[in-house]
Structure 1
Amino acid sequence: MNEFRFAEVDVQYGSGRQAMKAVDQVSLVVPAGKVVGLVGESGSGKSTLARAAVGLAPISAGQVLLDGVDVRKARRRGLPPPIQLIFQDPSSALDPRMSVGASIAEAIPRPVRRNRATRQAEVARLLELVGLDPDRMAMLPGLLSGGQRQRVAFARALAARPSVLIADEVTSALDVSVQGGVLNLMRDLQSRLGLSMLFISHNLAVVRYISDYIAVMYLGRIVEAGPVDEVLKDPRHPYTRELFDAAPHRNVQSTLLDDEMPAELATVEPPDPHQPPPGCRFHTRCPVGPLLRTDRDLCVQADPQAAAAERAHQAACHFADSPAGSPAESAIK
């Protein structure tokens, strides 16, 4: 088991006036053998953070650490990648001209794959591990269903014998009828292999099902993080509460229905990521912020991220310890 950590990571694209920080000073810990669910709206930086961890996005500052060691050093030494990323769309992750067996074998460490018999035995073992018949190793990915292709993607990731898996929206491209099977497979693999896992999803019910901890991302920053049950029961950041209110549920009425939304917020456009708002980045959309509360100019003047570690759930909100309103736990069923 290995602790996986982002330490003040920045990912910046462009320079000068065109520069944009897709990830800004993100610190996040995935405890050894645990699952952290990362949620946030599209464009919040979730997938960019995942890609930075495996070297597919440029890290302009900070470190990605595995048991205290920068993973970029492992890549420079030519060691097997300790972190594997499973993408949202298995069709684009697998070469359509390569057989299932060849795709998996390509990721097996070199000493194992040199011998043909050993290589085929390892591919068969990995296919069985993800619930597929080893006879499918000769098939092309296009002959498999979406759920089967995603299982092959899991087998390919596990072939590298990683310490950490990052799963980026791995069920969103699948039919609802097969999502449950893939999620159960993921839980089983994580438990059996003792993997540390970062699980990225927009589906809060799925995050609750699979995760031990939850982190909420907005405009390139983590705005709240903590044990999943605690955060769902008592979210402290207004953005977290809005995410929970927007999730489909049966038992609890939303605290901010569309027809009740204040006029001041109804016409507000999302902020430009090239020029984030000063102070709290959420203040231009916040239902309890300065747009509606004239006594909360602090949200415009000071960045709440600086003292986040001292607040409940590390919430990047000056008023995180104020009464939060209706609990959201029962909303995510």
Structure 2
Amino acid sequence: MSELRFEDVSVHYGSRRHGLTAVQNANLTVPDGQIVGLVGESGSGKSTLARAAVGLASVTTGRILLDGAPVPLRGSRRPVQLVFQDPYSSLDPRMTVGASIGEAIPRRAPVAGAVLDRRAEVARLLGLVELDPDLARAFPGRLSGGQRQRVALARALAARPEVVIADEITSALDVSIQGTVLNLLHKLLRELGISMLFISHNLAVVRYVATSIAVMYLGQIVENGPADDVLGDPQHPYTRDLLAAVPDPGHPPDRPDDPAVRAVADAEPADPHRPPTGCRYHTRCPIGPLVRPDRARCRTEVPTTDHRHHAACHYASSAEPALLTGDPTTQRSTS
């Protein structure tokens, strides 16, 4: 069993007066053997939550648990591993591929009394991510972006993790390569039985890989549920807006004279250093006080999550269904 759980996790940077709360009271579960997608725009707190899980960001309040116990952040055992977004900066250019992967291999063999052949283990890990074992002698500068990201994934797997956190690992890759990396993740999930938190701003990608989806806005998780339910019947207006941003030839965009469109277009983005009171999305919400003055409670009252998908919205039932079309599998590379 390898269940990763975030319980009321908050991460605050800086002083209490002048600092920034990047994550506030986040509750999220990554079940054993499943991929959970975490989506949201830049600055929503996704990467901070990922860094907190591996000890790169200090948790201000709350707990991060693996199978009910605190995640080990020190020592040789690191059961939660993070794959970073940029494959060009995540590898040391002065180290060979084999050295980078070998550095993450535990010193002790997985079987008591056995002698671990590190060179053979590096070759096995490269084969696991569908790379030629001969690349172990190469330096990162010789590799393409897709190859570097696979090496970074192999390095994370070298630590024999129970949970892998993939932070925007396809965003820096060409579209033609993204599909092959996503297929690789599915394969590894089946073969290794690991759990994964997959972070992305691309809903089409998350829909393809994730069994459940959590939506994050301005440091808070505003909706969470099974992938098909969240994407097929979104309850929070922010989720609906994310879906509407995905190009869909079958559904033309809203008319320019739509008051909701005009209100949202004229709204200023919220300042994360001084988040809005009440519902944090009310300053941009197309079903909130920008469009409906009678919904002033959104400005002052923090919404509960007593709705479908735990949607943090006073008027969750007012969110109209939206369907996501397009499948990233059509963008797969056959190579």
Structure 2 match to 1:197: 196
Distance of 1:126 and 1:258 partners within structure 2: 53
Structure-2 residue corresponding to 1:187: 186
Q: CA RMSD in A?
A: 1.8
Residue 112 of structure 1 contacts residue 119 of structure 1 at CA under 8 Å; is this kept in 2?
no
Q: Which residue of 1 aligns with 2:50?
A: 50
- Return the letter of the residue paired with 1:96: P
Are 1:331 and 2:325 counterparts?
A: yes
**Unaligned stretches of 5+ residues in structure 1:** none
Aligned to 2:332: none
1:300 corresponds to which residue? 299
Pick closer, same or farther for the CA change 1:257–1:5 going to 2, 3 Å. farther
Give 3-state SS (helix, strand or coil) of 2:247's partner.
coil
1:45-65 per-position Cα deviation (integer Å, ceiling 9, x unaligned): 111111111111121111111
Equivalences for residues 11-90 of structure 1 within 5 A? 11-71=11-71, 74-76=72-74, 78-90=75-87
Q: Name whichever structure is richer in helix by fraction.
A: 1
CA drift at 1:330: 4.0
**Equivalents in 1 of 2:307, 2:201: separation in Å?**
25
Partner SS state of residue 271, structure 2: coil
* Residue 282 of structure 2 corresponds to residue 283 of structure 1: yes
For residue 290 of structure 1, report the CA deviation from its aligned partner: 1.0
Taking a change above 3 Å as real, the CA distance of residues 105 and 138 of structure 1, as seen in their structure-2 partners, is same
Letter in 2 for 1:211: A
What CA distance in whole angstroms lies between the structure 1 residues aligned with 2:235 and 2:262? 24
Q: Does 1:176 align with 2:175?
A: yes
What CA distance in whole angstroms lies between the structure 2 residues aligned with 1:199 and 1:106? Answer: 24
The amino acid that maps onto 1:205 is A
Mapped contact 2:243–2:324 kept (Cα < 8 A): no
Distance 1:299 1:99, change over 3 A: same
Partners of 2:255 and 2:123 in 1: how far apart? 52
Native 8 Å contact 1:3 1:196 kept in 2? yes
Alignment of 1:4 with 2:4, yes or no, is yes
Q: Give 1:320's match in structure 2, choosing from 313, 316, 320.
A: 316
Normalised by the length of structure 2, the TM-score is 0.92
Find the aligned partners of 2:99 and 2:196 in 1 and give their Cα distance.
26
Q: Distance in 2 between matches of 1:70 and 1:258?
A: 51
2:98 to 98, 101, 117: 101
Which stretches in structure 2 are left out of the alignment for 5+ residues? 328-335
In 1, Cα distance between equivalents of 2:295 and 2:256? 24
Query: Compared with structure 1, are the counterparts of its residues 221 and 257 closer, same or farther at alpha carbon in structure 2 (3 Å cutoff)?
Result: farther
Tell whether the 8 Å contact from 1:251 to 1:330 is kept in structure 2 after alignment.
Answer: no
CA contact (8 A) 1:252 1:330 kept: no
Query: Is the Cα–Cα contact under 8 Å of residues 76 and 106 in structure 2 kept in the other structure?
Result: no
Q: Check whether the contact 1:252–1:331 (CA below 8 A) recurs between aligned residues.
A: no
Q: Contact 2:40–2:217 at 8 Å: present in 1 too?
A: yes
State the TM-score, normalized to the length of structure 1. 0.93
**Are residues 10 and 131 of structure 1, via their aligned partners in 2, closer, same or farther at CA, if it must alter by over 3 Å?**
same
Equivalent position SS for 2:17: helix
Aligned residue number for residue 273 of structure 2: 274
Shift in CA distance, 184/237, structure 1 to aligned 2, threshold 3 Å: same
CA distance in 1, matches of 2:90, 2:325: 34
Q: What's the offset of the Cα at 1:191?
A: 1.7
Q: Distance in 2 between matches of 1:188 and 1:300?
A: 46
SS at match of 1:96: coil
Contact 2:33 / 2:193 at 8 angstroms: preserved in 1? yes
> Cα deviation per residue 1:3-57 (whole Å; 9 max; x = unaligned)?
1111111110111331110001101011111111111111101111111111111
CA deviation after TM superposition for structure 1 residue 253, in Å: 2.8
Identity of aligned residues (%): 61
State the aligned residue count.
Answer: 324
In structure 1, C-alpha distance between the alignment counterparts of 2:295 and 2:232, rounded to whole Å: 25
TM-aligned CA deviation for residue 233 of structure 1: 0.8
Partners of 2:49 and 2:257 in 1: CA distance: 35
How far residue 332 of structure 1 moved from its aligned partner, in angstroms, is 4.9
